Structure 1
Amino acid sequence: MTTSRKKNAKPTHSKPTHSKLSGTVPSAAPRSSSKARAHAPVDSESSSFDPWILWVTFRRCWPWAVPAGMVLAGVAAMFVLQGFVPRYEATHLLVANDEYVVFDNVMKYSKDLARTETALILNPIVLVPALADPSLHDVPSLSNPATAEAHLRSNLTIKSGGDPKSLEIRYEDTDPEVAKNVCNAVAKSYLRQRDSFDAARVTNIEEWLEPEIQQWEQRVEERQARVQTLSEQTLGFAPGKAIEKAENESNLALLTQLRSEIGDLKIELSLFDAGLYDGGNLAASPVLAAAPMVVPEAVVKRGKPSESEIASHLEADPRVAELVQKVNRYRASVLDMEVNDMVRVNRDYYKELNKNLASAESELQSERREARDRTIEKLERFAEDEYERQKVAAKRTSEWQQEQFAAQAKELAQQSSKIQSEVSAAEKASRERQRFAIVSRLEILQAQYNEESERLEKFGGTTAQLQFAQDELAVASGVLKKLRDRVAAIKTERRQDGAVRTLAEATAPKSPIETVPYKKLAMASSVAFMVPFLIGLIFEYRVQRVTDASSFTRSGDMVPIMGEVARLPSGSRSQKGRRVFEESIDTLRANLFLSMDTSNVRSIAVVSGMSGEGKSSVSSQLALSIAKATGETVLLVDGDLRCPDQHEIFGLEMGDGFAGVLSGKTTLIEAVDTSLGALIHVLPAGRLTASPHRLMSPSGMKDFVDHALSHYSYVVMDTAPVLSAGETLAVASAVDASLICVMRDVSRIDNVTRTTRRLEAAGASIAGTVFSGVSARQYSYRYGDYHYALGDVPFGDSSSELSESSVS
């Protein structure tokens, strides 16, 4: 007997294998792995909240939580109704004032009152004066100065009046008259503050425009004086008169005529000196002597850059142009804030813009001074180069004219030498007088030509300066006109009734906001109804029941699942449920015997930590499944001496049973019930006559198992709960393998952990965990429903199946 036990003993090492009949990975944990499992880290997910517990809580608690929740919901609704006080809401309607007299868009108004004015209405500068209204002194809710403002703000609502230009001020209170008075007081305080802001804004604009107007008036006067000065310098032209084109043309014609006459006189003087001129006729009259012919030297003047040229080149300087654009941008930003009335909203930014504008203007003036020096130096270099070029050209012209006059003088001298001897003294005196007349006339014309030339040169230099000064005067006059027009428009459009006006004052509401507080009732009832479920949730969370196989396997101290067992249906109505249950037991048996660690197991103990975890159903059906699969006789032992139930499952007599065998009152062969057939024999628990601990000692249990295996191929033992009955440890240590039963939604994780550790400490070989209580639908969904047919034989109870097996 001892030899057979050692032969069938399990190896000391384990190698997990996959079952051929189930998707579960069966791996029986040998004794050598207990320390490793005991020190294995617990998965972090096991301590986290599993949403599945909500459904478990509802499923387990609804029979008592629903009635309790309905009672609590009714009590909560009663308290809400008793404490309900009707509230009334008054409304004051305001509208933006967009009317104007002549000038549109001068006095700005808000196009979205609810967005722009809400902050002002809820500000203490409006609420505090409103609380000081005499009509609110007797309001109970506002009697406490410390909480009056907060209470007022909490019951005050600002909404759009249906259109962006309208606004509604609403106030709630239990007294309709109080709601009306408070609403109107807040609206009046807001309108006063709004009018005060608008008046201050207009006054600030006028105060700012006044010095600007004075400054531009001074600029206009300065530029008018400059225009007058430049006009007076333009050869007598009165200020403001345009220089006629015809007059310019006549001056140029006079200058041409004078230049022509001077040339003729020079030729006449040359002919006279040559003795070829006689009263305007060319003749061979003798002369006293040939006067030397002198070619007048060409006069070249050094040009100077005019103010117009300097100004033109100055504005074209890249750095000056960049600074001008910068100054214009700052001026545009400042003017835009002033026109859009943004100065009072963001005065710091306005001051910063003015500061930047002043800095840019100062930088521009400094850059213009430096650029002016560079421009003058550049223009003077250009004038010097032009002067040198004109000098060279004039010198070449003078040399050519000198050569021409020298040739003519030589020819005239030759002719004059022939007739010089014939000229008398009287003729010589007459010619001297004629020559003096010609020279005098030539000097007069030359002086007139020089004067006209200087006048035209002066006139051309000051015309551009005059035009530039007139342009500056026009710009200054335009700015001054716009400033004066702005002041006139503001004074004309200055409103007397403000930018916002009342369209409809608040009246005392006749009906409350709600006659029954449906929302509060629903909320209070819902919360009260959920209180029992919350208590159940807390309890279930603390208990930590096993809800499904996946959450069970995530726990670090748990033995891997050998198989899942469907729930055993009650009665015989659900044939599919019974078939799925039997199929799950067959899968468990296949996993057990096809695993390398448990393939040689002959004695099996089905244990659990607490009662009600399905060990009796699993043990009885597992014994039937082993008997049908192997064709060998299986002994099913009811080892739960405290609360036996195997005899009730199979409908057998109790007899002396297992207790009688252990006490020596009867033998195993006499105590076994063989009425179920040749494949399954049942040993009931029997009547307990002594303490189970004394009857089920470790040595006695080993002897019993060895004796039973000598008569039967397999022994399956149903046991008492491990945590409640310590004698089960003796049974588990005596058999080849133990299966721990875990019931879905019943077993607790801590109980399963303690059960596993006790079995390991007792030296039991744990093959795995059986997760029972899975619904037939869930089991079929997870593993499929691939049933088989047995002809016309229906699936009946266990006894009928056993009789059929016995016959076979």
Structure 2
Amino acid sequence: MFEPVYEASAWLQFEERTPYLAFENKDDGRSKLFFQTQIEIIRSPLVLGPVVKRPEIAQSPKIAAQTDKVSWLAKQIRVTSVGNSELFRILYADPDPKIAAGVVGAVTESYFKLRDQTDAERNQRIIDLLGQEKDRRLREVLRLRDNVRALAQEAAVKDPFAAKMEPAAAQKHPLADLESRLIEVQVEGTVLKARIKAAEEELKAKEEQWAAASGEADQLLTKQELALRDVLADRIVEESPEVRQQKDIIAAKMANLKETERLVAKGRQSPVYARLLGDIRNDERTLDRLRNEIKQRAVREAELSLLAKRTEQGTSLLQKKMDELAKMRSDLAACAVMETMLLERYEKQRKDVEASSGDTLELGFKYDELVRAEKVFEMIAQRAVELQTERGAPGRVRLMQGATPPSAPVEAFPLKLMAIVCMGGLCLPFALAVLWERLVGRVGDSAALESQSRLAVLGEIARLPMRSPIGHRSSSERVKHDLRLFEESIDSLRTSLSLSESLGGMRVLAVTSAANREGKTSVASQLAVSFARSTGKQLLLIDGDMRCPDLHNVFNIELEPGLVKVLDGGCELEDAINTGWSDLVHVLPAGRLEVNPHTLLGNGTWTSLLSRIPEKYRYVIIDTPPVLSASEALVLTKEADATLVCVMRDYSRVDQFRKILERLETAGTRPVGIVLNGVPVKDYSYRWGEYSYVRD
């Protein structure tokens, strides 16, 4: 019975850029990532965990019936954008409109509560860390001031701060640009360190929040997860920007060390080599120290990752948080490299100036260092003031409209659903048929056969035509045409066998198949006629399918006495062979079976029979029973010089084809090739063409 469903919604606005009171944030341009992160937060256990704990939500019929309420609700809550705008909607559907509105309202409230709390804690932590850095920088400024005063006294300068000194670098050498850039990089690195530390502490706290929100009683990692944690932690350590940078430094010095060993006369005994080797050892110790410092952090991140992966939404949200943290660490590593380069350039140019001007500039350079430290201190203090001021700025996410119970269902009557069900009912039988064919795996062409074995396809046989019961002339001509192609395909197979060097001494040829109705009898009989016609010599065709004989019907001869009587000693071989059908093609029919065929073929009777076949027969062709359903076929084929395996196109199964090859190989037979039977006449003509000849 159809039950109407009501969908409630709440409207939110995600600002593309963060609103500000006085200081604009220049680092929030990644709006697409911000939007996606908020969507994942809304559907995460951090938001939905408190929602499902509310009695009015937990007791609603649909949610109460779920074992894992958080995961189920995460799949039902939808967060969609409205066009290309900044507007988003939180949607939830339920048969009860009040419950639908209640769930959306609870999710919205939980989201804003988490966001306000998280943002406030993160900003406060960054402000605290910047305050600590500001105090450290202040102590550094005071120390530098004391140094400048001491140098000023030595230089007989009464008060270095009474009159504004001109920086020596600005007078003697263009270092002002380097100083300005160095100050910016140092401030940027300081702020990044504070943000990274705050983000790491936030991620560490997420583990307990995730555990409580997911409702899991035991949050200990399993043995498998502990092993995986160590692997993940090692990978986090090795992929960290600090470790990668240090490894690059070591690799560059190792290359320089090898080049030094090659070029310097004393090689490893030279002082240059020893100094470089010492530097590398120091760098390796630094690398070990970095790994140990990062290891603890990496273990916590790996644990959090494994816990979050217990829910799909947790995995997505964690990945975004980790991406943000990784980007900040990468930016910090870039800042560190830039600061090192700028310091090296600054010191080099400073030494050049000192070398050209003597020691008179020492006081000026110390004053420059003090000015730079004061500027860094001022910029850090300014950044802390900016963050403190912007704490009262409007949030980046605003609630535009809360959820209200919808007045109309999503769909009054499910016309689309009914149409889909009807179409599905009509298409289902066809889909099942296609699926069955794919599961069964029918043989479709020669390439499929050759891909399943090491045997080659020696011939493709055109489909044997069926005469139409209505005797139209056009129908008769078509049958003649198709019959001619069938005979031509048999002649092509015979030619392949005759010209094969490996089959030059072949006399006894067995024709078999995996199952019945794969065309082995028609191939054996027509191949016998083709061999006799081409060689002009007599040929013996034996019907070895004693359970279900058919060659006597093909050649319109008597069934008895046949092969059965020869094997049980009731008849001589020469008396059982029928020579009346043709002077060249003689047939030994199967006879009427009255006992188990294995009894007749045992004790070497089949081998003895083959040895008694007169030498006048150039070829002996045996039509065997199907191997998989009549195992005596293996006895018949084992004594043959070669065995052909017949396969019917679009009928034979690939798995049965593989099984017959395995059994033939196990029995010690000699399969020499495959015959693809039943190829449609049009396909055969298209693939191989046809070349008719004129008959009188």
TM-score range, shorter chain: 0.5 to 0.7
Q: 2-side partners of 1:327 and 1:713: how far apart?
A: 100
Residues 1:650 and 2:555 aligned together: yes
Residue type of the alignment partner of 2:556: G
- The RMSD of aligned alpha carbons is 6.4
Letter in structure 1 aligned against 2:525: S
CA gap of 1:742–1:314, structure 2 versus 1, over 3 A, is closer
**Aligned residue number for residue 91 of structure 1:** 9
Indicate yes or no: 2:512 matched with 1:617: no
Q: For residue 568 of structure 1, what is the aligned residue in structure 2?
A: 464
Contact 1:721 1:728 in 2 (8 A): no
**Deviation of the 1:596 alpha carbon:** 4.0
Aligned with 2:184 (options 329, 334, 342): 329
Aligned counterpart for 1:183 among listed residues 89, 92, 104: 104
Q: Which residue of 1 aligns with 2:409?
A: 511
Aligned position for 1:772: 677
Residue 101 and residue 333 in structure 1: after superposition, are their counterparts in 2 closer, same or farther (change >3 A)? closer
Counterparts of 1:321 and 1:718, CA distance in 2: 101
Distance 1:584 1:319, change over 3 A: same
Post-superposition Cα deviations, 1:652-711, rounded to whole Å, max 9, x if no partner, equal 44465566777676894796353x5555454544556888765993476246511xx44x
- TM-score normalized by the length of structure 2: 0.52
Question: 1:501-533 deviations in whole A, cap 9, x for unaligned?
Answer: 433222222213683657995999789986676
Corresponding residue SS for 2:464: coil
Matches within 5 A, 1:156-555: 156-191=77-112, 311=166, 313=168, 316=171, 324-325=179-180, 328-329=183-184, 333=188, 500-509=397-406, 510-512=408-410, 515=414, 517=417, 540=440, 549-550=446-447, 552-553=449-450
Q: Offset at 1:161? A: 3.5
CA contact (8 A) 2:559 2:589 kept: yes
The separation in 2 between residues aligned to 1:699 and 1:199, in whole angstroms, is 95
1:749 to 631, 634, 658: 658
Choose which of 630, 633, 656 in structure 2 pairs with 1:724: 630
Cα distance, 1:580 vs. partner? 2.6
SS in 1 for 2:613: helix
Specify the structure having the higher radius of gyration (Cα).
Answer: 1
| 1:582, distance to aligned residue in structure 2 (A) | 1.1
Which is bigger in relative contact order (C-alpha 8 A, separation at least 6)?
A: 1
2:89 and 2:494 mapped to 1: Cα distance?
Answer: 78
Residue type of the alignment partner of 2:104: C
CA distance in 2, matches of 1:655, 1:146: 75
CA contact (8 A) 1:720 1:728 kept: no
Distance in 1 between residues matched to 2:397 and 2:689, nearest whole Å: 78
2:601 is equivalent to residue 697 of structure 1 = no
CA drift of 1:595 comes to 3.4
Matches within 5 A, 1:30-109: 86-95=4-13
Sort the Cα spacing of 1:334 and 1:519 in 2 relative to 1 into closer, same or farther, 3 A: farther
For residues 546 and 125 of structure 2, what CA distance do their matches in structure 1 show? 104
C-alpha distance in 1 between matches for 2:577 and 2:196: 107
Match of 2:578 in 1: 672
1:621 deviation in Å? 0.9
Query: Structure 1 regions of 5+ residues with no counterpart?
Result: 1-81, 220-302, 382-467, 793-808
**Secondary structure of 2:488's partner?**
helix
Quickly say closer, same or farther: Cα 1:316–1:134, change in 2 above 3 A.
farther
Alpha-carbon separation, structure 2, partners of 1:148 and 1:105: 41
* Corresponding residue of 2:489: 584
| Kept in 1: contact 2:514–2:657 (CA 8 A) | no
SS of 2:497 mapped into structure 1: helix
Who is 1:627 aligned against? 532
Q: Tell me: CA distance 1:714–1:188, structure 2 relative to 1, closer, same or farther (3 Å).
A: closer
CA shift at 1:785, angstroms? 1.9
Structure 2 CA distance for partners of 1:156 and 1:791, relative to 1, 3 Å: same
Q: 1:535 to 1:320 in 2, by over 3 A?
A: same
Cα pair 2:21 2:389 within 8 Å, conserved:
no
2:90 is paired with a residue of what secondary structure?
strand
Q: What is the percent sequence identity of the aligned residues?
A: 27
Tell me how many residue pairs correspond in the alignment: 501
User: Cα–Cα, structure 1 residues 548 and 657, in superposed 2: closer, same or farther, change >3 Å?
Assistant: same
Is the 1:109–1:499 contact (alpha carbons within 8 Å) kept by the matching residues of 2? no
How much does 1:158 deviate? 2.8
Change in 2 beyond 3 A, CA 1:704/1:608: farther
CA contact (8 A) 1:603 1:705 kept: no
Query: 1:626 and 1:314 mapped to 2: Cα distance?
Result: 106
Aligned-partner residue type, residue 694 of structure 2: L
2:690 corresponding residue in structure 1 = 786
Deviation by residue 1:105-129 (Cα, 9 ceiling, x = unmatched):
5999997773464455456665566
What secondary structure, in the 3-state scheme, does the structure 1 residue paired with 2:183 have? helix
Q: 1:559 to 1:704 in 2, by over 3 A?
A: farther
Distance 1:145 1:613, change over 3 A: closer
AA partner of residue 581 (structure 1): F
Which whole-Å deviations, capped at 9, do the CAs of 1:365-386 have from their partners, x for residues lacking one?
Answer: xx9xx99xx89x96989xxxxx
Preserved contact between residue 656 and residue 687 of structure 1 (Cα < 8 Å): yes
> Distance between the aligned counterparts of 1:549 and 1:686, measured in 2?
35
For 1:620, the aligned partner's letter is S
Q: Following the alignment from structure 2 to structure 1, what is the Cα–Cα distance between the partners of residues 693 and 431?
A: 49
Q: How far off is 1:180 after superposition?
A: 1.0
Structure 1 residues 511 and 670: CA distance shift in structure 2, 3 A: closer
Aligned partner of residue 705 in structure 1, secondary structure: coil
Asked if structure 2 preserves the Cα contact closer than 8 Å seen for 1:156 and 1:170, the reply is yes
**CA separation in 2, counterparts of 1:691 and 1:336?**
93
CA contact (8 A) 1:698 1:730 kept: yes
The Cα of 1:179 is off from its aligned counterpart by: 1.3
What secondary structure does 2:13 align onto? strand
Which deviations, in whole Å up to 9, do the C-alpha atoms of 1:153-184 show, x marking residues without a partner? Answer: 44333333435433322233332211112222
Matched residue SS, 2:184: helix
Residue 583 (structure 1) shift: 1.4
CA distance in 2, matches of 1:727, 1:191: 79
Task: Return the letter of the residue paired with 2:180.
Answer: Q
Distance across 1 between alignment mates of 2:402 and 2:646: 74
Give, in angstroms, the shift of residue 193 of structure 1.
Answer: 5.7
Which amino acid in 1 is paired with 2:409? S
- Partner Cα separation in structure 2 for residue 596 and residue 107 of structure 1: 82
Over 3 Å counting, the alpha-carbon distance change for 1:786 and 1:316 in structure 2 is same
After superposition, the C-alpha distances for 1:727-775 in whole angstroms (9 at most, x for unaligned) are 9847974x7x444342234453333443455464xxxx87655453444
Q: Partners in 2 of 1:501 and 1:595 — Cα distance?
A: 84
User: Matches of 2:523 and 2:39 in 1, distance apart?
Assistant: 73
- Distance in 2 (alpha carbons) for counterparts of 1:87 and 1:177: 11
Asked if the contact 2:8–2:101 (Cα under 8 Å) also holds between the matched residues in 1, the reply is yes
